[in-house]
Amino acid sequence: MTTKLDQARNVLARANRIIANEGVLDAFGHVSMRHPTDPGRYLLSRSRAPELVQPDDILEFTLDSQPVKSTDFRLYGERVIHGGIYQARSDVNAVCHHHAPSILPFCISGMDLKPVYHLGATLGEKVPLWDARDEFGDTTLIVAKPEEGASLARALGENWIVLMRRHGATVAGISLEELTFRTIYTARNAALQIQAHMLGLVSPLNRAETRLAGEYNLRPGPVMRAWEYWNARLDKAEGGGAQVRKRAPRKSGSRRTKKRRR
């Protein structure tokens, strides 16, 4: 019998692979969702490239980002990004952290990321920029400490995406499907903004247009239309490869070697 947790693991694994298939995630980055029946937990893959994530890779974590069950598998070092946001925002049920090439120029330059077309309105009216140096000085740029995750969550505030100086972006959503929609289209918006700057003056959406277009495009109809499309593209891209990915080795080195934590 398929449980809600089984279904959640399956859809979360697909969301990882969809966002990778659409060019936002690569070997790094990760997607999580709040536990379907326990809001005090969330689901996240073991440390693995998102394109390879399968349902049995998905583990349960407390909001303090500790695994519910002891495991020898390597875990994402930056899982505190997810736990920090779930603790701070009860309305958030899915989170993605990524380093999309279209987003990174904004993280490096500090230029404001603005909605420049209707689907980009899912950015919201404000995109804050968080700089780890402000509170923590020189770091590895990996958000691995609970206090760093909490700081990032504060910077996100009531917004839906936060840029991370010299690092990447973290995106939040009310549902996993909405998160996928926002993650993909905000990365495309960033690419369009850069291209438009090359041509001349950029005319972004104003506040009212951002609110109206954002609400319109985040209705269930558009979100599920895109979700169905991306699932079909994923199935076509994977072909018979899904089973090969599922059989990929889950441990490096000898079977007796425990995973180092990253």
78 carries an active-site annotation: yes
Categorise residue 216: left if φ over 0, alpha if ψ from -120 to 50, beta otherwise: alpha
H helices of 67-219, in order, are: 80-88, 104-109, 133-136, 146-156, 176-199, 207-217
Return the SS3 of 138. coil
225-241: burial string, b at 16+ Cβ within 10 Å, e else: ebbeebbeebeeeeeee
Q: Which CATH topology does 4-236 take?
A: L-fuculose-1-phosphate Aldolase (3.40.225)
Q: How many residues does the chain have?
A: 262
pLDDT in tens, the chain (262 residues): 789 999 999 999 999 999 999 999 999 999 999 999 999 999 999 999 999 999 999 999 999 999 999 999 999 999 999 999 999 999 999 999 999 999 999 999 999 999 999 999 999 999 999 999 999 999 999 999 999 999 999 999 999 999 999 999 999 999 999 999 999 999 999 999 999 999 998 999 999 999 999 999 999 999 999 999 999 999 999 996 444 444 444 443 433 333 334 3
Question: Tokens in use for 10?
Answer: 């399956």
22, 51, 78, 177: the catalytic one is 78
For the chain, which residues make up each domain, given as ranges? 4-236
